[in-house]
Amino acid sequence: MHPTTLTVEVPSVSTPVVFDVGTIYRQFQTLPDGRKRRGVRYPLAVLLMIALLAKLAGYSKARAIADWAKLRASELADLFDLPHATMPHPTTWTRVFGHAVAVDALEQVVADLSRGPPPAEVPERGSMVINLDGKTLRGTIALGHTQGVHLLAAYQAEPGLVRAQLAVDAKANEIVAAPTVVEKLDLRGVVITGDALLAQRDLSTKIVERGGDYFWWVKENQPSLLVDLELLFEDEYVCAGWSAPAVDFMPARTVEKGHGRLEERDLTASCLLAEYHDWPYLAQVVRVERTRTTKLKVEHEVVYGITSLPSAVADADRLLRISRAHWRIENGLHYRRDVTLQEDASQVRRGCAPQVLAALNNLVCSLCARAGSSNLAELQRVVARRLDQWLDCRS
């Protein structure tokens, strides 16, 4: 393939978006090919690159990728210096992706391409938030079964990049896979957030001892810790003539109105529990009250969390922002993959093909974030038009 770039003018982005197609292709060429050399007509890097271009143009399912490539066979063959102006059959795509790709190596390449160049300076403690959260590919759940391919992703909330991803074994859960994902990350300046399932002592210790910090929600899976948190923030009963004990509670509050609802969040942070609790590297605990008001009802919820970030690094306002940043993975990654990239609608189940397609989806989301575009669907529509023009000019 000739080293080249694809420039796209997106209306909502102030500067043109430049996709360095040549660099991505060269990274794909470093991947091992699990096929025997005899009879291979299409190099693995070519198939991965074509699939990525198709996804960027809005063709996300395996059949759609095959059809998109077939309609542009002549242009793609010229772009990649293929000897024949033909494209693989749809079943060839899933067979190659299912059995010829080293998934761990592909995930590492995707992470490297998503991350970009390393920062020149060591980031300040607690300055970056990475969400750990899992997602089941619903289309991989076979009839009569309840379990499909489940992937645990590490998602950097700002600017919105997938830093690592790992398939969770069917007989295990996210607790088992999380330490392996953490080992793939540079944790300097990072706060790892996760739901209550990941509030585990061993994982907390690993994160801090590798240079990072944690922020976990706490629920019934840690019953004694939850009781301690509830007791700490419970209103103190004071007898007449006596004063209440001194506390260090630090409040923070946000109020947002939009989409037909009013959302109020009140966070209270404290360092008192860290003085006597044995949770590893515990520095602060929080209590968050959420109130959502709509025309139909009022919802009230109280949740608790723990973190290794000391108050000198993260005050109550900072902790409230971190607690909210955890849920950005839902809209920034899961929704885009489920809906825009039609991941849950895909029923490809052959070998590692579901994870390969999911890794390419992660790369598409990361490229969108690095381009500064908040609307992936809009970016795909513009890329689809510009990509056809670009291929025609090269043929």
Query: What pLDDT is attached to residue 73?
Result: 93
pLDDT at position 236 over 80: no
Query: What pLDDT is attached to residue 394?
Result: 66
Q: pLDDT digit string (tens) for 56-95?
A: 999 999 999 999 999 999 999 999 999 888 999 999 999 9
The top-scoring range by mean pLDDT among 13-22, 135-144, 192-201, 228-237 is 192-201
pLDDT at position 3 over 60: no
pLDDT at position 119 over 80: no
Contact 199, 205 (CB under 8 A): no
Query: What pLDDT is attached to residue 140?
Result: 80
Query: What pLDDT is attached to residue 356?
Result: 94
pLDDT at position 223 over 60: yes
Q: pLDDT digit string (tens) for 88-99?
A: 999 999 999 999
Query: What pLDDT is attached to residue 243?
Result: 58
Nearest to 267 by CA among 233, 292, 236: 233
Please report which confidence band the pLDDT of residue 294 belongs to, taking 50, 70 and 90 as the band edges: confident
Distances (CA, A) of 98 to 35, 165, 353, 357, 365: 11, 17, 4, 10, 22
Pairwise CA distance, residues 376 & 57, whole Å:
10
Please report which confidence band the pLDDT of residue 147 belongs to, taking 50, 70 and 90 as the band edges: confident
Query: What pLDDT is attached to residue 95?
Result: 93
Query: What pLDDT is attached to residue 280?
Result: 95
pLDDT at position 395 over 70: no
Which amino acid is it at 346?
S
What mean pLDDT comes out for the span 342-350? 86
What mean pLDDT comes out for the span 372-387? 89
Query: What pLDDT is attached to residue 245?
Result: 66
Pairwise CA distance, residues 267 & 251, whole Å:
6
Query: What pLDDT is attached to residue 136?
Result: 86
For the chain, percent of residues with pLDDT exceeding 90: 54
Burial (CB count within 10 angstroms: exposed 0-12, middle 13-18, buried 19+), residue 170:
exposed
Pairwise CA distance, residues 281 & 125, whole Å:
15
Tallying the residues shown for the chain, one arrives at 395
> What's the DSSP call for residue 119?
P
pLDDT at position 268 over 80: yes
Q: pLDDT digit string (tens) for 157-204?
A: 888 888 999 988 866 788 999 999 999 999 999 999 999 999 999 999
pLDDT at position 114 over 90: no
Higher pLDDT, 16 or 176: 176
Query: What pLDDT is attached to residue 370?
Result: 83
Contact 266, 249 (CB under 8 A): no
Note if the pTM is more than 0.85. yes
Distances (CA, A) of 111 to 180, 186, 346: 15, 12, 23
Query: What pLDDT is attached to residue 237?
Result: 66
C-beta neighbour count of 124 within 10 angstroms:
10
Higher pLDDT, 140 or 142: 140
Pairwise CA distance, residues 101 & 43, whole Å:
11
Please report which confidence band the pLDDT of residue 371 belongs to, taking 50, 70 and 90 as the band edges: confident
Per-chain mean pLDDT for the chain = 88
pLDDT at position 278 over 70: yes
Contact 346, 338 (CB under 8 A): no
Burial (CB count within 10 angstroms: exposed 0-12, middle 13-18, buried 19+), residue 35:
middle
Q: pLDDT digit string (tens) for 27-58?
A: 999 999 998 888 788 999 999 999 999 999 99
Instruction: Report the run of H or E that residue 130 belongs to, with start and end.
Output: strand 128-136
Higher pLDDT, 278 or 238: 278
Query: What pLDDT is attached to residue 234?
Result: 86
Q: Tokens at residue 329, please?
A: 């993975």
